[in-house]
Chain A
Amino acid sequence: MNQSSIPVLDDGERQPIDLLRVPGLGRLFRWQYARPVLQAPLLILSGVMILHGLFGPSLAPKNLATSVTWVHFRGILVLVLLGAGNFFCLACPFMLVRQAARRIFRPRWSWPRALRNKWLSVALFAGILYIYELFDLWASPWWTAWLILSYFFAVLVVDGFFKHASFCKFVCPIGQFNFVASTLSPFEIKVRSQDVCTSCHTKDCIRGRREPVSDLVTIRGCELALFQPRKVGNMDCTFCLDCVHACPHDNVGILSRPPGSELLSDSLRSGIGYLSRRKDLTALALVFTFGALLNAFGMVSPVYAVEIWLGRILRVKHEAPVLGVIFAVFLVAEPVLLLGLAGWLTCTWGRVQRGLLPLIVRYSYGLVPLGFGMWLAHYSFHFLTGLYTIVPVTQSALLSLGWPVLGQPRWMLTGLPSSVVLIVEIGFLVLGLAGSLAVTYGLAEEDSAERPMRTFIPWAGVCALLWMASMWLMFQPMEMRAVLISG
């Protein structure tokens, strides 16, 4: 592509960085086999994790399935989302298997219209968080291996029967997590010049590139129904690069942008609609945010006192109903109460001309940075404090196979000291608070330009409360155990 198609920006405005123009990296991403090449190592790793989880040591710190999944994968995932974008979905190993399966089994149906929203994936996201706590997945290589296997199975079933990327868009809980978190990423896949798209007649980025005679698709268009010229932000974008490869004008790049800027925009988005009208997306954003606190709460000492207390009140000895109550409080009652109060205050005191529910839906996205800050703090804690544990676990796995190429396991290798990691955690929480305050203030300015503070203060209050709760959680003693409700 020639340089003239890059949009001309104002003098004071910086040219965005385009990763596709970075030497080496750009060439890799433009290569049509870039995705499979990135997926293949993760597929092999998944296979190793499944085998080690099923047949390796039953102790979680000694097993690759649990160590890689709950320490390294989660940590790397959130750090890459923060520093770059949704590159895990790009390298998703499940999609490689799906592609192979689709060579022999072509899906025939479209995803049911009633399920073309995020409600199912919101339920699955909350469900995974619930199962994680109920079955202490972090402590079980066996169940972790089955979780990975069931993921492969679900991908094959859903995308085996339904066309396009139905699993990614409407089902995958990891994907939904990535979609929400990547709204805060510094890069997005975006057209370089709208003028080029206006003059384009083929629309290959969505239709796919086709053979002129047979009309067979040779390069796929976007499977998630994101039409590049009208695509806004990273929501629903798996960074699969199909649009990059399909565009005949080389007009799609991986461009830098201010992180979180898309949360301030309520323009019509291709494949999404208006954020402010998507209650399912709001629910996803809220589960993402409040789920971050809930997931961390499940790892600190006070949760056990709460569970034992609830068990006595409910007169139950099983953890499931007690956890159900805690989840209902954290994921339903707390958001309804906090956001309802903030919304009511904004309507009455701020005199914003919106209905209560549309107002809550609009401002809920402003809490996403706080939630992401909490996920970052939590997952980076495990990742950084257990950074080097992958070395002895791998050494041990190889040793058990009678192949001691890496030597004897050095079990004393762990990671960074907790005191250092605590500073990083606090940094992420402060970053999350700053992001949420910036987004909610931006929305408040848009809603009431004359007195934005009156609109902003109730939401700033919610942000401050959630941030204090996050800080309190960070300073609680960690306690990772299965629950003994009976005390």
Chain B
Amino acid sequence: MTCDFRWSGPGKGPFPKERKTLLRCACTAIGLALIVACNRAETTHPVLRIEHEIVPQPVRVGSQTVILRVTDGAGRPVPGAHIGFEADMSHPGMSPVFGVAKEVEPGRYQAQVEFGMAGDWVILLHIALPGGQAIEKQIDVKGVRPK
């Protein structure tokens, strides 16, 4: 049903000049929005290659092993890197998990990640190379299953 109510107060006519201003503002806003929308790009490191593997599969809630293989542009292992990690859930407001990956053989690093909850996780790697160069890498871990 429609509700029964009264409106109060008279309406006023439009102001053409202000309308033009408003139209310009709207066009500017749309233009800015388009620039923002077209300006999203992923950044990648040109020479370093980082491969990852999580075992066991499928990934379940609990402690899981993340194996990282770090190689340079020529495919040679990169030893001596310091790799810190942070694992976050895709939903905000959840506890992150922090840790450090240990080098188990040249260029091969291993970390224990405690997935506290089922769902989508993201592991952020903070890599400091022996030369002092710092690199960030994101690993998406989709659909961690309940125990």
Which residues on A are within 8 Å of B, measured CB to CB? 54-55, 59-63, 66-67, 70-71, 101, 104-110, 113-114, 116-117, 136, 138-139, 142, 149, 163-164, 206-208, 217, 220-222, 225-227, 270-273, 277-280, 301, 304, 382-383, 385-386, 389, 393, 411-412, 414-415, 477-482, 484
> Complex Cα distance A393/B22, Å?
35
Contact A108–B93 (Cβ < 8 Å): no
Contact A482–B120 (Cβ < 8 Å): yes
A107 with B11, Cβ < 8 A, contacts A61-B91, A117-B2 known:
yes
**Inside 8 A of B61's CB, which chain A residues have their CB?**
477
Which residues on B are within 8 Å of A, measured CB to CB? 1-9, 11-15, 18-19, 21-22, 33, 36, 40, 61, 86, 88-96, 98, 117-120, 122, 124, 138, 142-144, 146
Give the Cβ gap from B20 to chain A, nearest Cβ, in Å.
10
A104 with B15, Cβ < 8 A, contacts A271-B3, A278-B3 known:
yes
3 A-B pairs with the lowest CB-CB distances in the bound complex, closest first: A386-B93, A225-B5, A71-B93
Contact B96–A61 (Cβ < 8 Å): yes
> Complex Cα distance A142/B92, Å?
14
Give the Cβ gap from B106 to chain A, nearest Cβ, in Å.
31
Contact B22–A104 (Cβ < 8 Å): yes
Give the residue of B9, B33, B124 whose beta carbon is less than 8 angstroms from that of A221: B9
Give the Cβ gap from B94 to chain A, nearest Cβ, in Å.
7
Contact A61–B2 (Cβ < 8 Å): no
Give the residue of A54, A105, A273 whose beta carbon is less than 8 angstroms from that of B3: A273
Give the Cβ gap from B107 to chain A, nearest Cβ, in Å.
27
**Inside 8 A of A279's CB, which chain B residues have their CB?**
1
> Complex Cα distance A32/B57, Å?
63
Contact A478–B92 (Cβ < 8 Å): no
Give the residue of A107, A108, A273 whose beta carbon is less than 8 angstroms from that of B1: A273
**Inside 8 A of B117's CB, which chain A residues have their CB?**
477-480
A206 with B8, Cβ < 8 A, contacts A60-B91, A63-B92, A67-B92 known:
yes
**Inside 8 A of B2's CB, which chain A residues have their CB?**
113-114, 116-117
A105 with B120, Cβ < 8 A, contacts A278-B3, A389-B93 known:
no
Q: A220-B9, A221-B8, A389-B93 are in contact. List 5 more A-B contacts (CB 8 A).
A: A108-B14, A477-B117, A478-B117, A479-B146, A480-B117
A385 with B94, Cβ < 8 A, contacts A108-B11, A411-B86 known:
yes
